[in-house]
Structure 1
Amino acid sequence: MQPSVLGHYYEEFEVGETINHSLSKTIFESDNNLFSLLTMNHHPVHTNLDYAKNNHHGKVLVVGTLVFSLVVGISVPDISGKAIANLGYESVEHLAPVFIEDTLYAKTVVLSKKDSQSKSDRGIVYVETIAYNQNNVEVLKFRRKVLLKKQNL
């Protein structure tokens, strides 16, 4: 059996490539409740079933930053496992609501890459990650730049 690989080196990414992440996550009520408590997001649309039933979606809405955090985590084994640093996140878009018991999946497209100008042992990969639910509805999209190690330096 081969040991699992955490991340990839800069040279392994190809511009235009789509990476379908193998990890997925069903969001449980306990996930949403704990995240709400930890982040002090006590809005009743995330924590109060009665309130949520009488509002726009009619059910508890998962905290958007939980969705974002989970999708970043789903992408780590393929994208940033060998990262020196995540240099920045941009253009975070919540495309559709996420509810308790939805399952998140994700894919990432490599948009561009460039060698570091200051250090020859690393490079920057620019990617866009799209998350979707069990019904194949896109729920989140974001871009980020990741500083990665080069392989043989």
Structure 2
Amino acid sequence: MTVGERVDPAGWQGRFFEDFEPGDVYYHPLGKTIIDADNQWFTLLTQNTAKIHFDEVASAATEYGRPLVNSTFVLALVTGQSVIDLTFNVFANLGWDEVRMPAPVFVGDTISSRSKVLETRPSSSRPGTGIVVVATEGYNQHGTVVIRYRRTFIVYLRAHAPVNPTPRPSEDSLPQASG
């Protein structure tokens, strides 16, 4: 951006169907360091009674010697990390396939993710949308892949996206920048 060039006041609008090309790779911008509360809350909210996620004594007796982070939390986290790049303009999520957890995740791990577009096609049943298939990997701070899966979703074509109903005040109502 050059001096004096304006930033679009509407901000990031996300990708639409026509923005996806097979072979595109997106490194999702936000990583997250998992804290004990993340694992405990998610495990308890989902009523997962596997002691390996919340019982320090029981998990100490396993080969890992400490609690494992709930794998469905990791799936939800990595999917959430991808929204900014993949499904900001989603019509519907169709599902996850081939979900694999090749390495354990522990409290203190920082999880980041990336996705590769595998396939795109217009939806034959929902005009104004298209179907996108991606391969996503989540990896820890050491670069070790901890989850991988294929995900299929329906996303709007730009011309058919719902209008954002959130009103925005005029830029004139903002205070002047100092400097």
Which of 35, 38, 42 is the equivalent residue of 2:42? 35
Could you tell me which residue of structure 1 aligns to residue 12 of structure 2?
5
1:112-149 CA-to-partner distances (Å, cap 9, x unmatched) read: 10011123311101101100000000000011111011
In 2, the alpha carbon distance for the partners of 1:71 and 1:4 equals 23
> Are the counterparts in 2 of residues 19 and 107 from structure 1 also a CA contact under 8 Å?
yes
Shift of 1:50: 1.6
Q: Does 1:58 align with 2:65?
A: yes
Could you tell me which residue of structure 2 aligns to residue 86 of structure 1?
93
Q: Does 1:117 align with 2:124?
A: yes
Could you tell me which residue of structure 1 aligns to residue 55 of structure 2?
48
Change (3 A) 1:148 1:129: same
Which of 63, 79, 88 is the equivalent residue of 1:72? 79
Structure 2: state its 5+ residue gaps.
Answer: 1-6, 161-179
Letter matched to residue 100 of structure 2: E
In 1, the alpha carbon distance for the partners of 2:36 and 2:151 equals 29
Letter matched to residue 22 of structure 1: P
RMSD: 1.3
> Are the counterparts in 2 of residues 132 and 139 from structure 1 also a CA contact under 8 Å?
yes
Letter matched to residue 100 of structure 1: V
Aligned residues: 153
Q: Does 1:126 align with 2:133?
A: yes
In 2, the alpha carbon distance for the partners of 1:54 and 1:96 equals 19
Change (3 A) 1:6 1:91: farther
Which has the higher relative contact order, 1 or 2, with Cα contacts under 8 A spaced 6 or more apart?
1
Question: Segments of 4+ in structure 1 off by > 6 A?
Answer: none
Q: TM-score, normalised by structure 1?
A: 0.95
* Rg (Cα) greater in structure: 2
In 1, the alpha carbon distance for the partners of 2:22 and 2:86 equals 13
> Are the counterparts in 2 of residues 62 and 99 from structure 1 also a CA contact under 8 Å?
yes
